[in-house]
Amino acid sequence: MPPDAKILIVDDHQDTLYALESALAPLGYLLARATSGDEALKQVLRGQVGLLLLDVRMPGVSGLEVVRYLRRLEQTQHIPVILLTGFGPDHDLTSAAFHLGVADLVMKPVDPWALRTKVRYLYDAHQRHLALEHEVRTLRALVKDHGDTGTEDTTLPPPARVPVQRDTGARTSGPTAPTAP
């Protein structure tokens, strides 16, 4: 995912969308909004979403239903999701949310500082994860191409040599300290 991946904020109340955008604006990330679960799914499936901030209870498709759908698709299953709820602690909701793999469940009204901290950490960690996946794919392709040519690449450094440890014959009943040669 490129660094211009956006944070998608999903809530059916305009005032909540505005408050969340205001809380996250100081981070400097691209922000997008959706007012329904259906609209959120469409935006996520178009790509470029690096984190989803999602209200649990919305008319039509609920936040939990959105997460269930996203977790079934390979291209969206690792997008971090923070669920938001204004209905107080609910054991069943908490259990269902974490069973689906959401990153956090936050009660409204949110503490802007705490939300920024969570969003920054999750977004940046997800971007690093995607960058590592890209690097692994690139390296695998290089190794595959290298193996297909059948030639040895002399630009690679020789394998590192590990010094051989010699057994001095002395045995003790505990850890032994290395001896000088």
Q: Which whole-number Å values give the CA distances from 37 to 42, 144, 165, in the listed order?
A: 9, 42, 62
Q: Is residue 81 part of a domain?
A: yes
- At 151 the pLDDT is 56
DSSP state of 121: H
The answer to whether 9 and 33 have CB atoms below 8 angstroms apart is yes
Give the distance, in angstroms, between the CA of residue 120 and the centroid of all CA atoms in the same chain.
11
- At 1 the pLDDT is 42
Q: Is residue 47 part of a domain?
A: yes
- At 141 the pLDDT is 87
- At 157 the pLDDT is 59
Q: Is residue 168 part of a domain?
A: no
The answer to whether 16 and 9 have CB atoms below 8 angstroms apart is no
Say what the pTM is: 0.74
What is the 3-state composition of the chain as percent helix, strand, coil, each rounded to the nearest 5? 45, 15, 40
Residue type, 99: H
- At 180 the pLDDT is 52
Q: Is residue 113 part of a domain?
A: yes
How far from each other are the two terminal CA atoms of the chain, in whole angstroms?
53
DSSP state of 102: -
> What are the 10-residue block averages of pLDDT along the chain, 181 residues in total?
78 95 96 96 93 94 94 93 88 92 93 96 90 88 75 57 56 51 53
Q: Is residue 17 part of a domain?
A: yes
Q: Is residue 140 part of a domain?
A: no
- How far is it, in rounded angstroms, from Cα 6 to Cα 33? 10
Q: Is residue 165 part of a domain?
A: no
| DSSP-based three-state secondary structure for 50 | strand
Q: Is residue 178 part of a domain?
A: no
Domain containing 34 — which CATH number? 3.40.50.2300
Write 147-156 long-range contacts (CB < 8 A, 24+). Answer: none
Q: Count of domains in the chain?
A: 1
- At 130 the pLDDT is 85
**Which residue segment(s) compose the domain that 52 sits in?**
6-135
